Amino acid sequence: SYVLTQPPSVSVAPGQTARITCGGNNIGSKSVHWYQQKPGQAPVLVVYDDSDRPSGIPDRLSGSNSGNTATLAISRVEAGDEADYYCQVWDSSSDHVVFGGGTKLTVL
């Protein structure tokens, strides 16, 4: 089955850029989606189809996808960005949804 690998944690100072990676075999051939989840809340879609943002999501969040790595970048990081972030793909070979293990973003 398809596996997505994320770093468990990423730390960044306010105002800097955080980059959260999502690794998978030839993930560049798939559409990658990203969710933000704050404690006690349901996940929220923040990036879909590699780099598109739903309405209401600030352009400080951006996504890219190539080769074996997809990346969610958050520029000008704020305290409110502190959350868990999950990548997700659809594995057409198994007709299963696959999530990465999640990355906890800490704002120092």
Partner 1 sequence: EVQLVESGGGLVKPGGSLRLSCAASGFTFSSYSMNWVRQAPGKGLEWVSSISSSSSYIYYADSVKGRFTISRDNAKNSLYLQMNSLRAEDTAVYYCARVNSTFGTYYFDYWGQGTLVTVSS
Binding residues (CB under 8 A) for partner 1: these are 1, 31, 33, 35, 37, 42-45, 48-49, 54, 84, 86, 88, 90, 95-102
User: Is the CB of 68 or the CB of 99 nearer to partner 1?
Assistant: 99
User: Is the CB of 15 or the CB of 62 nearer to partner 1?
Assistant: 62
Local structure of 42: helix, strand or coil: coil
Cβ–Cβ contacts within 10 Å for residue 54, how many? 10
| Residues 65, 90: Cα–Cα separation, whole Å | 15
Residue 51: which of 31, 75, 29 has the closest Cα? 31
User: Is the CB of 18 or the CB of 88 nearer to partner 1?
Assistant: 88
Local structure of 80: helix, strand or coil: helix
Encoding tokens for residue 28? 């560049």
Q: Minimum distance between the CB of residue 95 and partner 1, rounded to whole angstroms?
A: 5
Q: Minimum distance between the CB of residue 82 and partner 1, rounded to whole angstroms?
A: 17
Q: Minimum distance between the CB of residue 63 and partner 1, rounded to whole angstroms?
A: 12
